[in-house]
Amino acid sequence: MNDPFGRKVDYLRISVTDRCNERCLYCMPEGYHGWERQAEHLSADEIIRLVRVAAGLGFRKFRLTGGEPLVRGDLAAIVRGMAAIPGVEVIGLSTNGTRLAAQAADLRVAGIRTANVSLDALDPGLYRQITGGSVADVLAGICAAVVAGFERVKLNCVLMRGKNESEIWPLVHFAAEHRLPLRFIELMPLSRTDVLTEKHFLPVGEVMQQLREKDRLIPQPDRRIGHGPARYYLLERTGALVGFIGAMTRLDFCENCNKVRLTADGKIRPCLGNHGETDVRALLRAGVDDVGLAEMFREVLKNKPEAHVFRDNYTPGRPMVAIGG
CA–CA gap between residue 162 and residue 184 (Å, rounded): 15
Core vs surface per residue 268-286: b (16+ CB within 10 A) or e = bbbbbbbeebbebbebbee
Residue 28 touches which member of ligand SF4, ligand SAM, none, C-beta under 5-8 Å by kind: ligand SF4
Establish if 321 lies at the interface with ligand SF4 (CB under 6 A): yes
* 22 counts as binding ligand SF4 under rule CB under 6 A: yes
With respect to ligand SAM, which residue has the nearer C-beta, 96 or 263?
96
In this structure, the strands spanning 90-95 and 114-118 are parallel
Q: Which does 44 bind (CB under 5 to 8 A by kind): ligand SAM, ligand SF4, none?
A: none
250, 233, 310: which is closest to 274 by C-alpha?
A: 310
Nearer to ligand SF4, 130 or 168 (CB): 130
Cα–Cα distance measured from residue 54 to residue 52, given in angstroms and rounded to the nearest whole number:
5
Least distance (Å) between residue 195 CB and ligand SF4: 12
Q: Which residue is nearest to ligand SAM (CB)?
A: 325
> Which residues from 91-110 bind ligand SF4, rule CB under 6 A?
96
Shorter beta-carbon distance to ligand SF4: residue 131 or 164: 131
Distance CA 199, CA 196 (A): 8
Contact residues: ligand SAM, CB under 6 A: 20, 26-27, 65-66, 68, 94-96, 118, 156, 158, 185, 187-188, 190-191, 320-321, 325
Question: Longest Cα pair distance anywhere in the chain, in angstroms?
Answer: 60
Instruction: Decide if residue 265 touches ligand SF4 (CB under 6 A).
Output: no
Strands (E), the chain: 11-15, 61-65, 90-95, 114-118, 152-158, 182-185, 217-219, 231-235, 241-245, 259-262, 267-269, 278-279
Q: Please tell me the number of Cα atoms within 13 Å of 279 on its side-chain side.
A: 5
Per-residue binding string, ligand SF4, 53-82, x by CB under 6 A, is -------------xxx--------------
Given the rule CB under 6 A, which residues bind ligand SF4?
Answer: 20, 22-24, 27-28, 66-68, 96, 118, 131, 320-321
